[in-house]
Amino acid sequence: MRELARAWFDVSTQSFGGGTSTLFMIRRVLVDRWGWITPREFTESWALCQLSPGIHLVALAGLLGRQIAGPRGVLVSVIGLMVPAAIITAILTAGFGQVAQHPLTLAALAGIAPISGGMAIGLALTTAGAVMQRGRLAIVDAAVVGTAFIFLTASSQLTIAVILAAGIFGALFLGRERPTSSDAPVS
């Protein structure tokens, strides 16, 4: 439990920008550093959490905590993700008014966006690595993603249609994928 708490503390205190950067840190810590879950388990867990109401990263922390350490892992993971970040946010918010216009503050804030963008690209490349190992199916996957990107860029009115089309495509062509191995290391 101590190692699990430390892992979530690391994620909570080192990911800035929320969303993608936090997701990237979770993957780096739990999959790459500790090896508690496989890349596929991570991706499947994240996909499942996208269906949950509320904050998806909190749902992911709870789900991964449960996979790694059972019911106590849920509590440790969610607290480890939320509490340090909440404390840092409260301190920074309280002090921000005092230094908001200082040149160093403005420079630091200007640097956060590229860092978050870089982490988003890093997550995309890391996740794509597993897909690219699929050979010819990787070309199909890339074509589907590219087509969806073009449609979504063209009009935000097409979002629901793109989601439905991707879901149908996945059900028809990707439904034959093997499920996650039950003997994958999770503890």
pLDDT by residue, tens only, the chain of 187 residues:
999 999 999 999 988 767 888 998 999 999 999 999 999 899 899 989 988 888 999 999 999 999 999 999 999 999 999 999 999 989 988 888 888 888 988 888 888 878 777 777 777 777 777 666 666 767 777 777 788 878 878 877 778 888 888 778 777 776 665 555 554 444 3
Q: Which residue is listed with tokens 């905590």?
A: 65
pTM: 0.63
User: Residue-wise over 52-68: b if at least 16 C-beta within 10 A, else e?
Assistant: eeeebbebbbbbbbbbb
Cα separation of 63 and 160, whole Å? Answer: 27
What residue type is 44 in one-letter code?
E
Two tokens at 65?
Answer: 């905590």
In terms of C-beta density within 10 A (0-12 exposed, 13-18 middle, 19 or more buried), how is residue 34 classed? middle
Cα separation of 63 and 43, whole Å? Answer: 12
Task: Report the largest interatomic distance among the alpha carbons of the chain, rounded to a whole angstrom.
Answer: 57
Residue closest to 3 by CA, chosen among 39, 43, 33: 33
